Each structure stands twice: as C-alpha cells, then as structure tokens.
Chain A
Amino acid sequence: MKIAASIIAIALTLFSGSLSWGLEKRLLDAAGVQELNEEAPEFALVTEAGKRISLKDMRGKVVLLHIWATWCTPCKEEFPLFEKVYRSFKDKALVLLPVAIDKRATHEELASQAKKLGANFPVYLASEGSITERYWTWGVPVTYFIDKGGWIRGRAIGPRDWSSDGVYALIKTMIEENKTLPHRGGG
C-alpha cells in the first residue's frame, strides 16, 4: 500500500498545480515556437556588398534570425515560405537574417543557391561574421524571434510552415508590441 499511496501522491503533485499561460504563450504555441526570454548574444554579419551589420543596429525592429545550412534539405524547403514572410513584412519593421553555418561555402555560392531556392532576401555566412555557435546548439534549422529590444522571445527548432496563420500572428504581434523586455545594459 505504501507504493500505491506514493503513486497517488505523485498524481496529486503533478496535476494540482494549475498553470496559466499568457496571450504570448498561446501565440507562440500556435506558431510552433518555444518560449525563450533571454537577451540575444550580440552578433555581426557581413552583407554581400561587404558591409558589416550587427544586431545592435537593428534595435527597434523585430529580427527573425534563421540558422540554416546548404546541406540541410529541410532548410532549403523552407526558403519559398520565408520569401512569403519577407514580402509580407519587409516594409513593416521586420528584418529577416538567414545565416548559413557552412564552413566551406563562399558568399557568392550562398547567394546563388538562395536565388535558385526562390529567395529575394539577403543571406549571410556565419563564418564571415562573428556569431556564437550557441545559436545552433540544437542543430539546424533553428529560428529565433528577437524583439525590438534585442531579447529572444521565441525559438523554433526544426522546419516550420512559415506561411501559417500562427507564424504571421506572432510576427504581427511582435511588430505592434510597444512593450519589450528590459533593454540591454549598453543600449
């Protein structure tokens, strides 16, 4: 009976706590995105024209940081969907940053492949800039939703339907959001 009593104690422990999710949690769930509330580690990337851009420069905009690789088949299948997102939000304070983690590819090869995949947005190489590997701790593809204050609010591990209503609603809410998490010290 001791075991039965302990098993019932577990059941009560598990199901007694009622957790209430905020609006954002529901939005994140609908988009298939994990909740993350963490200051985004600073990074810098290099454009095809050789210009250096950094996350700090994008303060006030929502950043969709997408980590991918040219050898990753599901990553490539996502490109046409990202193109739709890019077209829908490019004039609405959204920055799309697809960063390939290939070690040997050149920027030209990368841009050419992205074009073939139907992308009109710029692409970046991790090896050309300075971006921590912590962003791809769990493999690729992985996509981060970074708010206007430089905080990571969500992460999508694995491929997603980027044209889904859930994803659009999340991006729209983050763009319209006035409240952000506390700004980073240097900002």
Chain B
Amino acid sequence: MKKNFLSFFLVIGLFLSYAGSVFACDFCLLSQGISPLETLNGAGVRVNERYTSLDKVYNGTHKISNPGAKEEFWTTELTGFYAVTEDLMVLGVVPLKKTRMKGELMVNPDGTVDLDPMKGRESGLGDVALIGRYSFFKKHTLDTTTTIAGLLGVKFATGKTDGKADNGEYLDSHIQLGTGSTDYIIGVSLSHSVQKISLSANLLGTLTTEGEFGNKKHRFGNAVNYDVTAKYRVYPADLGSRGPQFFIALGVNGELREREKTDGVKDPNSGGNTTYLSPGIQAVVAPHWVFELSYQQAIYHNLYGIQLGENHKATGGVTYLF
C-alpha cells in the first residue's frame, strides 16, 4: 500500500509541475471548489447551475488589451448518481448549455490582435457523460476517515457542433454545445476528514479523440482538471443536536489543457493553464438535501499564444439524496 501511496503522490507531483496550459473548458466535473463527487453512498440527483465569463485577453501569463471580445457560458448540469455497492458508484451527467460570444479575436502573425465583430449564441443539450467511481482505499478511525477512489468515464458527442454566427460562418469550436468527439475520462479522488475538517483533492484527466465542428475535423487538447479543497463545519459545534449543518470551503483548482488541432493543424493560440481560488459554502439538511454555492476567481493564467482567458465562474447546486 505504501508503494501505491508513493506512486500516487509522484503522479500528482508530475501533474502539478507542468508549466503551461488553457481554454474555455466548460466541461469541468471536479474543479468546482466543492466536489460533487464527495458523496460516497446511496443515490441522488444533483442540479447545478454554472456561469462562466471570459472577457480578458492573455499573452502567456500577461494580460493585454482586449479589442472587445467576450464569451459567456451558462450550464445547467443534471447529475444522477447511484452506489451499486459500498465501493462502486455510477454517475450520469447531462449538461444543458447556453453559450454566447460577441466578437472573435483574430491574432495576427506579428502578435497584434484584431476583432472580427461576429456574434453568436447557442443553446441546448451538451455532451452527456457516464462515469464510474471505485473506492479502492478506505481507512477509518474514530476521528478520521480517508478514501481514495479512481474514476473512469466516457463523454459522448451528444451536443450539437454546427452552430453558426450572425455572419453565417460556423461558430468557434468552444461556442458549440458539444466537442463533437467521444472523450475518455480518468481520475483519482482523495478525501481525508478529521472531525470538523475535511480535505479533498481531485485529478481528472480527459483523453480526447478527433471530432467535427462545422465542416472541419477538430480535436480538443487532452486536459487535466485539478482541485484541492478544505472544508470546515462551522455549525453545529458538535453533532449531538438536531438541525442543519453549515460548512465553509476554500479551494485551489484549475485546468491544464494541451493545444487543440483543426484539420490536423495545431492552433498555437489554444491550451494552457488557468488556476482559480474558490471559496464556497454548503448547507446539509439531513437526510435529503445539500445546498452549495461556490465561486471561482482566476488567480493565474499561463495560456499558450494569445487568447481569451476565463475570469470567473459561479456555481450553485442542489442535491437530493434518496
């Protein structure tokens, strides 16, 4: 087991040592400050609403002047989960998306940026995902509980990818409702609780395949989402009384993505890393309801080339446990 632990932390170290990565990923299951995957047993449904905004332009780690481009994403994510056994949980995620863009960045060969004043919006079903989560390590003491779980999943190409802008051109791949590809998800999730405090760490990798958007072949870069979150029960002081429980959370999370390819050509202005600081609150009204709010403020960008970067995301979620 010691060997497994060592490998686990080595792999985490490897990921975190990357320099580099992102894009407007709006398909982030884990990096929401408070992980929706922390529920370990039973069955339930979760609805969460996420708003993402991109209106700042980055050249690597530096912010540069934005000629007026803006992208916005509203995602309603419906998640159903069911514990098949004590250790195995299956999850289905159905995103309903609304995307909007105003002005597309045109990066010139000399590094200057112009604006194509095109506008566009799309709404409808995004890419549906199915995920299995297996807890392969659990250790409990009177005061602590530690779990390590592995995740495997598939994201299907159910979202439309032929949306057009007001000028009749196909919208950029990121504004489309889906990625047009079947992608594979693999991850690891660690949680450790000591009485009122819990610490969770998640790594979620997405291995992409080639898909299509509009009339082009397109492949998003492989990606890793990471998050480390600490949660503290502020009320009640002890669990010997009736009533809801309230938690506050603070996390660091982000996404690292490789460059994407269109018709086999790598886009130099894609991929990179965005890191967020995420405060959040959670209320548990036992035995059925969990309410969550979290906010992600981007604190570090290191984007490849010149591109719009994510600034903030706000997420609200309600979970019903059967």
Residues on A lying within 8 angstroms of B by beta carbon are: 1-4, 6-7, 9-11, 13-17, 19, 29, 32, 34-36, 38, 41, 69, 71-72, 74, 101, 103, 126, 133-140, 152, 155
State A55–B7 Cα separation when bound (angstroms): 42
Instruction: Specify which chain B residues have a CB less than 8 angstroms from the CB of A3 in the assembled complex.
Output: 18, 205, 221-224, 256-258
Residue of A10, A69, A103, A134 touching B143 (CB-CB under 8 A): A134
The residue from A6, A74, A137, A155 contacting B205, defined by CB atoms under 8 A apart:
A6
| Distance, CA A15 to CA B132, complexed state (A) | 14
The answer to whether the Cβ of B136 comes within 8 Å of any Cβ in the partner chain is yes
A135 to B195, CA, bound (A): 11
User: Which stretch in B29-37, B73-81, B239-247 binds the other chain?
Assistant: B239-247
CB-contacts of B127-154 with A (<8 A): 136-138, 140-143, 145, 150
Whether A13 contacts B8 in the complex (CB less than 8 A), given A7-B186, A35-B140, A137-B239, comes out as: yes
In the assembled complex, the CB of A140 is this many whole angstroms from the nearest CB of chain B, namely 7
Q: Does B235 contact A (CB under 8 A)?
A: no
Contacting residues, chain B, for A135 (C-beta < 8 A): 142
Closest to B240 in A: A101
Query: Which residue from A9, A36, A69, A136 sits with its C-beta under 8 Å from B141?
Result: A36
Please indicate the chain A residues that have their CB under 8 angstroms from the CB of B8 in the complex. 13
Q: CA of A138 to CA of B145 in the docked complex: distance in angstroms? A: 10
What B residues does A72 contact at CB under 8 A? 242
With a cutoff of 8 Å between Cβ atoms, the chain B residues found around residue A35 in the complex are 138, 140
Determine which residue in A6, A38, A72 has the highest number of CB atoms from chain B within 10 A of its CB, and name it: A6
Q: Mark B52-72, 1 if CB is under 8 A from A, else 0.
A: 000000000000000000000
Given contacts A41-B142, A137-B195, contact A10 B240 (CB under 8 A): no
Residues of chain B at the chain A interface (Cβ within 8 Å): 1, 3-4, 7-8, 11, 14-15, 18, 85-86, 136-138, 140-143, 145, 150, 186-188, 195, 203, 205, 207, 221-224, 238-242, 256-258, 286-287
**For the complex, what is the distance from the CA of A1 to the CA of B261, rounded to whole Å?**
13
With CB as the reference atom, state the residue of chain A lying closest to B222: A3
Known: A36-B141, A103-B241, A136-B239. A7 touches B224 (CB 8 A): yes
CB–CB A13/B7 < 8 A: yes
Q: A17–B4 contact, CB under 8 A?
A: yes
CA distance A32 to B86 in the complex (A): 7
| Contact, CB under 8 Å: A19 / B7 | no
Complex CA distance for A165 and B11, rounded to whole angstroms: 42
Q: Which residues of chain B are near A6, meaning CB under 8 Å?
A: 11, 14-15, 205, 224
Report yes or no: B242 in contact with A74, Cβ–Cβ below 8 A.
no
Give me 11 A-to-B residue pairs in the complex whose CB atoms sit less than 8 angstroms apart, sorted by A's number.
Answer: A3-B223, A3-B256, A6-B11, A7-B224, A16-B4, A17-B1, A17-B136, A38-B141, A38-B142, A71-B242, A101-B240
CB distance from A21 to the nearest CB of B (A): 10
Complex interface: chain B residues within 8 A of A134 (CB)? 142-143
Contacts of B143 in A (CB 8 A): 134, 137
The reply to whether A10 and B142 form a contact with Cβ atoms under 8 Å apart is: no
